[in-house]
């Protein structure tokens, strides 16, 4: 259920980003919304060898993602004014996906480091694929705290699973991990926090040069 909320949030936000950045038609808006929503889960499942991917096989994910994309198409003007709510929805999606992604990776036998990476990848993967398709250097590689809260939440999932907490306190532990991710992401947005950058490299216009 929470997973579907995250899917909807990601599809809506992903489609709105696409509309804002490039000229896309209905096909493009729906495609990019769906890819943002289910792409991270697909990449995770490919890397786990859990094919066909769950988010592709389960029609509810595709339906909810398609609905989010359609809403973005129909009401892009209105929705763009709600940028703060979009940030909140996106942070919620990131937190939920990182936690469920890490949990699924553990279930399928991934090691701790792999589960942490796959959890974060579930959160950031869909947006990254969308950015590649609309010809942007993915934000997650450049600015803000996006991968770091996702890695943090996934690490908490792996930790609580490792010490056996998740068997007694499964749902609350998952919720706590998601909350940490959400809080770090929102604090990062509010105070414009960034991960450290390489020394001695001058800032360049976004996208860089070829």
Find the part of the chain contacting its own copies (CB under 8 A) among 29-37, 86-94, 170-178, 182-190.
29-37
Question: Can you tell me the distance from the alpha carbon of 177 to that of 179, in angstroms, rounded to the nearest whole number?
Answer: 5
**x/- string (CB under 8 A) for its own copies, residues 148-167?**
x-------------------
Could you tell me if 61 and 4 are in contact, meaning their C-beta atoms sit under 8 angstroms apart? yes
Question: 18 vs 174, which CB is nearer to its own copies?
Answer: 18
Longest dimension (CA), the chain: 53
Least CB distance to its own copies at residue 15 (A): 9
For residue 190, give Cα distances in angstroms to 35, 48, 75, 177, 187.
27, 35, 26, 20, 5
23 makes contact with its own copies (CB under 8 A): yes
What residues contact residue 112 under an 8 Å CB cut-off, 6+ apart? 158, 162
- Write down the residue that tokens 């398609």 correspond to: 66
Task: Using the structure block, give the residue that is written with the tokens 């709600």.
Answer: 82
Stretch that binds its own copies, among 134-142, 152-160, 168-176, 181-189 (CB under 8 A): 134-142
Q: Taking contact as CB under 8 A, which single stretch among the options 84-92, 166-174, 175-183, 195-203 is the one that binds its own copies?
A: 195-203
Instruction: Name 97's Cβ contacts closer than 8 Å, sequence gap at least 6.
Output: 3, 6, 10, 40, 41, 119, 122, 123, 150
Comparing CB distances to its own copies, the nearer of 24 and 189 is: 24
Question: Angle between the 83-107 and 112-133 helix axes, to the nearest 10 degrees?
Answer: 140
Does 142 interact with its own copies (rule: CB under 8 A)? yes
Q: Which stretch binds its own copies (CB under 8 A): 6-14, 153-161, 180-188, 193-201?
A: 193-201
Of 167 and 197, the one with the shorter C-beta distance to its own copies is: 197
Q: Which of 6/149 has CB closer to its own copies?
A: 149
* Residue 136 sits in the site that holds its own copies (CB under 8 A): yes
Which H/E stretch holds residue 167? helix 165-168
Residues 54, 56, 86, 175: which binds its own copies (CB under 8 A)? Answer: 56
Count Cα atoms within 13 angstroms, Cβ side, for 108: 20
Query: Which residues make up the interface to its own copies (CB under 8 A)?
Result: 18-19, 21-29, 31-32, 42, 46-49, 51-53, 56-57, 59, 62, 73, 76-77, 110-111, 113-114, 117, 128, 132-138, 140-143, 146-148, 194-201, 203-204, 206-210
């Amino acid at each position: 259920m929470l997973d579907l909320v995250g899917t909807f949030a990601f599809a809506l936000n992903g489609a709105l980003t696409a509309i804002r950045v490039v000229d896309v038609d209905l096909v493009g808006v729906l495609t990019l919304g769906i890819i943002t929503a289910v792409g991270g889960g697909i990449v995770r499942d490919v890397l786990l060898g859990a094919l066909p991917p769950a988010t592709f096989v389960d029609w509810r994910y595709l339906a909810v993602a398609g609905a989010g994309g359609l809403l973005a198409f129909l009401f892009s003007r209105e929705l763009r004014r709600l940028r703060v709510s979009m940030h909140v929805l996106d942070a919620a999606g990131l937190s939920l996906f990182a936690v469920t992604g890490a949990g699924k990776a553990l279930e399928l036998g991934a090691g701790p480091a792999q589960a942490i990476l796959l959890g974060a990848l579930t959160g950031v993967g869909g947006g990254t694929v969308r950015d590649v398709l609309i010809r942007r250097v993915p934000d997650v590689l450049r600015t803000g705290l996006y991968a770091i809260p996702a890695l943090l939440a996934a690490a908490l999932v792996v930790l609580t699973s490792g010490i056996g907490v998740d068997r007694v306190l499964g749902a609350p532990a998952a919720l706590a991990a998601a909350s940490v991710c959400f809080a770090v992401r929102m604090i990062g947005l509010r105070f414009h926090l960034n991960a450290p950058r390489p020394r001695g490299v001058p800032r360049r216009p976004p996208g860089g040069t070829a």
